[in-house]
Amino acid sequence: MISTYACWPWIWDVRLWDAFWMFPVRKLYALFGLLTFCVASPPAFPSSGNGLWYAHPGTTADWIVDGLVIGNGYLGATVISDPANDLIGLNLESLWTGGPFQDPTYNGGNPDPSLKASIATSLTNYRRGIFGASNGMIPQIGSLMAAAGAYGSFTGAGYLGLQRTGNVAAANYYRWLDLDQGVLFATWSEGSSTINRTYFCSNPDQSCIFHTQSSTSDYAGTITFSPLQGQTPVPTQSCLDSATLQWRGTTAVSRGGTGMIYEVLARMQTVPAGLASCSTSGGKTTISFSGVSEVTVVLVGNTDYSMDAGNVANDFSFKGADPHDALVSVLPPATQSNIFATLLSSHQADYALLNNFTLNIGQTPDFSNPTDVLISNYSDKTGNPYLEWVLFNFGRYLLFSSARGTLPANLQGKWGPTITCPWGADYHANINLQMNYWAALSTNMPVDVTQSLFNYMEQTWAPRGAISASTIYNISRGWVTHDEMNIFGHTGMKDGAAQWANYPQSAAWMMVHVWDQFDYMNNLTWLRAQGYPLLKGVAQFHLDLLVPDRKFNDGTLVTAPCNSPEQSPITLGCSHAQQVSFQLFSATLKAYSTAGDHDPLFLAELTSALMTLDPGLHIGSWGQLQEWKVDMDKQGDTHRHLSHLFGLYPGYSIPSYVEGTTKYTEEQLVGAATVTLISRGDGTGPDGDAGWEKVWRAAAWAQLGYGDKFYNELTYSIFENFGPNLLSNYNKGAIFQIDANLGYPAAVMNALIQAPDVPTYSQTLVITLLPALPPAWPTGSIKNARIRGGISVTMEWTGGAVTSATFSMDDNVISRPVQIKSGAAVMDFTSASGQLVTFSP
């Protein structure tokens, strides 16, 4: 075990803390590193080094950079682990402002149906304007847009406070997040007593647990609920019983709305038993305890939101049952023995599902430097394989902890103890939502990590998306969404600039995830019941959205009007839209017979569209891959998005190039993509400084086989955008945005194993091992990675070269030609159910 040295007690001197706020975040934590030079990692820190640890508590005000997060998909908790007043920020996954709960007239941001005919005329005129303009552009498409209405925001539920009675002179303080078991710990001493606190959120039990243990039987304190700053209406608090706090409220309303009901219950158990006492005084409800050695608090919470009511039959009310009775049924009885041990065991057994996959990049754990010191000392010039490995595991932990509820992981996962969140912490689907899930399949995460995503699309996008398709585009088949979605079926095009709003490709891109779910997991029952209906509905809409190109008159089908995501030109044949459409139609065609579809007219439409679709692959005047069909790219445009490189990564138009698809060769397209990626810069342009744009660039460089450039971009993202608590941030810590955290493991995986999709099952699936391995990771291993084709991979490498690899096929896989490549070594075979293939270069 690693020995522990005492932290200096004077780090708690409030005068020092006041002085520290004058320092920028990175300098502040570097200073903490100096103050805590005397420490090594806590004795119970995992011997694998798989975790985060600190020698000081966090602060509620700076939760974005020093709060540690736990969650189970249903609940999120942001923890600072302050010995005196441990304020835990609480989130309920469905607690949102806005929607029909605020305004019963909310219609998902769609135009009034009475405007359908005039909108159709406007759309026709917009297309004529684009095709007739010398530059292929028009200035606006305002008739297609509508006011967002009560769009709303993800919002916090309040704080649970764990308060210590009396003066606290804490010493020997540590807190750490154990990523081997998904549990957060804190420990400190108070005189002769040692206090240990444990925090975790259990998915099977839909609850969060906070357990405090004292080495002596004189521990005393209180627990309370308190509102967020500015939280209105302020929830009511009361004693449900002598050991249970109740926190109950509604969101704000307008136009006759009733507000969304939410409730949180916190039940206490003490050792010795029965020493919890709930009381209300002056409007404040408190559970007090004293003379105990252990305190366990079990917290549950929910709202009356229901996706099942997000449809025409329920008038898109999204309103379900009052959560109270269900919450009471989930809480364990206060008299139940061993509540803490039972719930911890349940959580650990569930969390073990995440550990079926493992990665080793030759890291050496650092038990001498806390995580905040590691991040403050990190250099993108030299890297640190240990920190890079921890970040990989942390990204998987965050997705596992936020995606397994009813709703998918949003822009902040499920964490945001604030009244409103940047961009509403909604579902931006022009890169952010997609990146959240890039690593789910390749790192072999449990199926329920992605299931909430598909349920969400099926129940909140498709029903109202069909109305958007009809009203905005005059299309009667299928459904559409745009760039920004909430949990209330917002599928319209938000009123404002077209560069943000004009993105009907969002659902089409998400269908790549639907197809990949089947291609990786081979679940035919799921494909027929949910996957294929989603694919077909979106494909039908996009078949009707495409129009003949009357600008270039080259016999192709294009999207018009289109915007390349978050770029201002309103034009035709945007490369991204065309590449996404190609992949959507190809996936739907591959799924057609497997899913048992017998619709020959639809099959003929798909086949014809794939033959005439402009592929969105054009090389421009300075050798770039064009962003638009009209050659108007500006050299040196460092825009954050790589939208026209979708076909490079995460798409497959370029890496799985089919001869004859375009007039170019594969070599020419790869060269053009490289020119574009260089021109796009390192992800720190004048338009922002986000982690996700760097992670996307890292994955793209890996796809091109540049291990050095991949690593340069990956390390730069760590240096520039990951805070002391390893959460990714936007613009130097001002905003927490989780997509870079969740996309980071996918970028790493793309440097180690590549198996891009192919248009047909007859085309060879090429698996490349270590395609972009950086010199910093010369030795390592992967256990139980997943690739498409229902294949699991276990691999080891030494000296930068693969030494062994095994490929295990699932039962009932679709047989296909496969080629394995590693350096100069090549192996070909045809996959078959239950097959085991050994590759030894």
User: How many Cβ atoms sit within 10 Å of the Cβ of residue 693?
Assistant: 30
Q: Which residue positions in the chain have pLDDT lower than 70?
A: 1-39
Which domain, by its residues, includes 824? 767-839
User: Residues 594, 613: one domain?
Assistant: yes
Q: Can you tell me the distance from the alpha carbon of 552 to that of 276, in angstroms, rounded to the nearest whole number?
A: 77
Q: What is the pLDDT of residue 37?
A: 45
Q: What is the DSSP letter of 814?
A: P
In-domain check, residue 760: no
In-domain check, residue 587: yes
Q: Which of 302, 323, 355 is the last residue of a domain?
A: 355
User: Residues 71, 141: one domain?
Assistant: no
Tokens of 504: 């009907």
In-domain check, residue 539: yes
Write out pLDDT tens, residues 12-61: 333 223 333 333 333 344 444 444 445 699 999 999 999 999 999 999 99
User: Residues 123, 91: one domain?
Assistant: no
Q: What is the pLDDT of residue 697?
A: 98
Q: For residues 374 and 366, is the Cβ–Cβ distance under 8 A?
A: yes
Q: Can you tell me the distance from the alpha carbon of 633 to that of 631, in angstroms, rounded to the nearest whole number?
A: 6
Domain of 811, CATH number, reads 2.60.40.1180
User: Residues 213, 335: one domain?
Assistant: yes
Q: For residues 619 and 664, is the Cβ–Cβ distance under 8 A?
A: yes
Tokens of 397: 């932990």
Q: How many structural domains compose the chain?
A: 3
> Cα angle at 769 between 767 and 770, to 5 degrees?
145
The residue among 189, 190, 187, 186 whose CA lies nearest residue 167 is 190
- The DSSP H or E segment spanning 124 is helix 116-132
User: Residues 80, 225: one domain?
Assistant: yes
Tokens of 574: 């945007």
User: Residues 218, 351: one domain?
Assistant: yes
User: Residues 221, 172: one domain?
Assistant: yes
User: Residues 139, 220: one domain?
Assistant: no
Q: For residues 42 and 4, is the Cβ–Cβ distance under 8 A?
A: yes
Q: For residues 770 and 711, is the Cβ–Cβ distance under 8 A?
A: no
Side-chain-facing half-sphere of 66: CA atoms under 13 Å: 22
The residue among 642, 645, 587, 658 whose CA lies nearest residue 616 is 645
In-domain check, residue 380: no
Query: The sheet that has 277-281: what strands, in order across it?
Result: 68-71, 75-79, 85-92, 158-164, 219-226, 284-292, 277-281
User: Residues 315, 443: one domain?
Assistant: no
User: How many Cβ atoms sit within 10 Å of the Cβ of residue 53?
Assistant: 25
Beta strand pairing call for 780-787 and 825-830: unpaired
Strand partners, 820: 767, 827
Domain of 541, CATH number, reads 1.50.10.10
User: Residues 94, 119: one domain?
Assistant: no
Q: Which of 306, 322, 355 is the last residue of a domain?
A: 355
In-domain check, residue 48: no
Q: Tell me the pTM.
A: 0.95
In-domain check, residue 687: no
User: Residues 139, 160: one domain?
Assistant: no
Q: What average pLDDT is seen over the chain?
A: 94
Round to the nearest angstrom and report the end-to-end CA distance of the chain.
39
Is the bond preceding 408 in cis, omega lying within 30 degrees of 0? no
User: Residues 211, 290: one domain?
Assistant: yes
In-domain check, residue 86: yes
Q: Which of 625, 650, 680 is the last residue of a domain?
A: 680
In-domain check, residue 281: yes
Write out pLDDT tens, residues 181-222: 999 999 999 999 999 999 999 999 999 999 999 999 999 999
Report phi then psi at 180, rounded to 5. -75, -30
- Say which residue the tokens 């300098």 belong to: 27
